[in-house]
Structure 1
Amino acid sequence: MGELINIIGPGAVGSFYGGKIEAKRKGAITFVGREPSFSAIQKNGLVLNMPSGIHLIYPRIIEHISEIVNPKVVILTVKSYDLDEVARELSKVVKPKTTIITLQNGLDNDLKVLEHLYCEVLPGLVLVAATKTSPYEVVQKGEQQKLVFGPRDGKITPKMKEIYTIFKEAGIDAVLSENITLELWKKFLFVVSFSSATVAGRCSIGEALSNPELLNVYSQVLREAIAVGEKEEVIFEPNIFEKTLEEALKFDPSTKSSLLVDLENNRPTTEVEALQGAMIRLAKKHGLAVPATLGVYEMI
């Protein structure tokens, strides 16, 4: 497919997954990034610092979405609160055959993008502990690097399989799901409980899960999220609580949630509305009380 994938947002997630693909398929990736990432990656390349080794790659990077030409695949790794603006800009360059993949935290990011675009938009999610330590270096903690994507209607196409193959060949733990709604909810359970506990304690996930009070926050928020999901007619596995906790324990204990990192960096906008806010709104819709989640939301 030649230059196949445009990645908008070379933050930790975009740099990690895009970097792995570019390392395997030179010329496959074009990043779209603002300053300081744009100049830093142009000048220094992109450093992938992973447990398996350190890689230096020199991907193509452009500064503006308007510079994208005839895109085949676009992966959105900006934060959920930037999606509307990005989608409006994308509407000027995408084609009917373009495929877009959304990888933000939250349940309905693909639907937000579809409000602006008339092309295929696939929801997706990632489970990875990656941090940008400079505008041109990303560090992966632990071995987790899952990426799940798929169509809302469950109908897998040859193009989706081709994208999946590119991910797998790059060493990404990729899943092409026929039930992406369930997968989004499983990630939502994970991240809303993970972020709530780390924000409540202003600490890493390891510190939160080893502190009885914060573990209680984690557990209460997770149980509230499961209850809301069930009201939304999501069919979870019977042991979904234990499995979600197990996933959290797999992460490097020094990992902080992206929500906490945003708060610590005094960023004016965070993902709280896509996480705790979304859960509170869904709970209200079904007449459910979610006191633990509400407590974290008010704290933020």
Structure 2
Amino acid sequence: MKNEALYAVLIAFFLNIVISPFIIPLLQKFKFGQHIRNDGPDSHLKKSGTPTMGGIIILTSIVLTSLLFVIRNKEVQIILFVTVAFGLIGFIDDYIKIVKKRSLGLTASQKIIAQIIGTCVFAYLLKYYLGLDTSTILPFSGSRELELGLLFWPFLGIAVLGVVNAVNLTDGLDGLASGVTVLVATYFAAIAWATYSNVLPIAAAAVGSLLGFLLFNSYPAKVFMGDTGSLALGGFVISTAFVMKMPLFILIVGIIYVIENISVILQVAYFKKTRKRLFKMAPIHHHFELSGWPETKVVTVFCVITAIMCLIGLIAL
């Protein structure tokens, strides 16, 4: 299995760098360009027209690589399903943005309903296909498990929707979501490697795919992942965490996702109460941009924080 993981990383990586030079020009040809928010940082206006929907590249390399290991591997099958399902929601959202030439695609209610349906199917697969129980590993407890019983299911729903949309919020700077998520995927791959977990092939495929994508998505980005990529990656991260019985570890290794999400919640709540802004702009990566940090510095700092938290996550297990 460990040799398979190495193959998965390399195959996904090379698939990505082979596919990208063909997909990116096609996205440009069909004018699948990013529409930049009018209320965003002025420095982002120059990014208007940069090809988006690059998540197609990420998904393609992960799917093709995982298919080599999916037979008789229920864990990979479930994670792959969730990744593709949420990626499809993101694809529809991106497509609407492009066709209608606006920065908003699906309505909030349409998006949340689609995500709830995907979450319910995921919950069904965990219980009746994989046969997973309703316990979860507690961080810093010597791998002790907490039995949640019926509370497991609302917890799963909140966690899935929270993480998927948090990863989506994190995708706001060149290389940010892909850089943070490749570290989180590496963390899960390392744990799977050490424990001989069946999730190892798809975790390794995600690492390879994101490493390849970063060659085109790092500053200055030649392609954006769009909601196609960010929702797919959110689905990958949270489904992997639940299959490994480690959703609470997202609070550690996915601290950037958590902070990005909380910053938006605080911004909205504070504005409704005071009619003033708590941050210069939310999500919080834009606050640092507007405070004078170069985009590359924000991405570097957030990735360093993620790397340190992943090391702490190893200790927590």
Greater helix share, 1 or 2?
Answer: 2
TM-score scaled to structure 2, two decimals? 0.25
Q: Which has the higher strand share?
A: 1
TM-score where L is the length of structure 1: 0.26
Query: Greater RCO between the two (CA within 8 Å, min separation 6)?
Result: 2
